[in-house]
């Protein structure tokens, strides 16, 4: 009887271990599928590999953070864009996560004082010339903490602040401490950003083209062709478009429809961080 009970006990253990192994195999298969799904979602085809690459571009899309019109359409574009999120807004974190999980690059769209404009556009924590440098440093650090997955920053407005070397140095040094780059939207021809970034060895880019000053698809396509021409001429070029009332769905539609034409020209679309690496 004891031998029979012992045999039954052994059989139960064998069955238990077999079931455990099956469960582990299923878990590993499930994880592998999930990982592959995430990888595929976040892997963006950045160029037509059959065409010689003659120039590279980064397309920056400003004004995320408000769940603006066209956000969904921009994130559906199957090329790597760089999306700039305004900090301290209701949808800041949600938009940043959506951008990241869609496979695009996240940067901070930092509100900065312009020469002309409504102060309300800056929000409660915009950077203005009357602030102490320590306060500015704290605001930039808060913005970095508020925008998950951010790898860089550009200016929202900021024609006045980007001309101020002391303020820009304060901002640039915070970015340096966080291994981030700065992309100058070039809202002022007197911007000192390039000078300050080079002096402090912080990666830097600047905008050459605004895509959607006129909010119609054909005008935006014309600007994208200009972007492609500039990229071929200078090897790299940066454009800025928008979600929300300034661009939105028209900008998304124009970019999507222009991808084949740009790639036929030999123009590769990259995230801004990779464009910096390819510029060096």
The candidate with the shortest Cα–Cα distance to 203, out of 231, 176, 165, 167, is 176
pLDDT value for 117: 84
The answer regarding whether domain 55-279 maps to CATH 3.20.20.370 reads: yes
pLDDT of residue 51: 77
Say what the pLDDT of residue 37 is: 42
Torsions phi, psi of 102, nearest 5? -85, -5
Q: Where are the domains of the chain?
A: 1-43, 55-279
Task: Please state the length of the chain.
Answer: 280
Query: What is the Cα–Cα distance from 191 to 155, expressed in whole angstroms?
Result: 11
Name the phi and psi angles at 237, rounded to 5.
-160, 150
Whole-structure pTM value? 0.83
DSSP code string of 73-86: HHHT-SS--EEEE-
Torsion of CA 55, 270, 268, 34, to 10 degrees: 160
Instruction: Quote the CA–CA distance of 104 and 80 in Å, as a whole number.
Output: 5
Residue 277: the pLDDT is 74
Q: b vs e for 153-177, b when ≥16 Cβ sit within 10 Å of the residue's Cβ?
A: bbbbbbbbbbbbeebbbbbbebbbe
Q: Residue 46 has what pLDDT?
A: 55
Could you report the average pLDDT of every consecutive run of 10 residues in the chain (280 residues)? 49 60 51 43 52 96 96 98 98 98 99 90 93 99 99 98 99 99 98 98 98 96 99 98 95 98 98 84
CA 230 to chain centre: 22
Let me know: does 162 contact 188? Beta carbons within 8 Å.
yes
């Amino acid at each position: 009887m004891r031998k029979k009970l012992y045999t039954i006990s052994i059989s139960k253990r064998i069955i238990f271990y077999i079931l455990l192994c099956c469960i582990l195999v299923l878990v590993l298969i499930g994880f592998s599928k999930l990982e592959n799904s995430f990888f595929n979602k976040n892997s963006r085809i950045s160029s037509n590999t059959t065409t010689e690459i003659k120039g590279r571009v980064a397309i920056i899309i400003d004004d995320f953070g408000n769940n603006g019109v066209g956000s969904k359409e921009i994130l559906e574009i199957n090329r790597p864009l760089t999306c700039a999120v305004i900090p301290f807004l209701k949808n800041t974190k949600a938009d940043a996560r959506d951008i990241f999980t869609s496979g695009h690059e996240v940067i901070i769209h930092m509100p900065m004082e312009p020469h002309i404009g409504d102060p309300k556009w800056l929000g409660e924590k915009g950077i203005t010339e009357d602030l102490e440098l320590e306060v500015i440093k704290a605001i930039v650090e808060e913005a970095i903490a508020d925008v998950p997955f951010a790898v860089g920053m550009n200016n929202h407005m900021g024609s006045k602040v980007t001309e101020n070397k002391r303020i820009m140095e304060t901002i640039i040094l915070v970015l340096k401490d966080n291994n981030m780059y700065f992309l100058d939207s070039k809202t002022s021809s007197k911007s000192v950003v390039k000078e300050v970034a080079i002096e402090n060895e912080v990666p830097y880019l600047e905008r050459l083209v605004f895509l959607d000053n006129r909010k119609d698809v054909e005008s935006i396509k014309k600007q994208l062709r200009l972007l492609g021409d500039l990229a071929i001429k200078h090897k790299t070029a940066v454009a800025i478009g928008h979600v929300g009332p300034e661009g939105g769905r028209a900008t998304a539609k124009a970019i999507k429809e222009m991808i084949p034409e740009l790639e036929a020209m030999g123009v590769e679309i990259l995230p801004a961080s990779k464009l910096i690496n390819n510029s060096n």
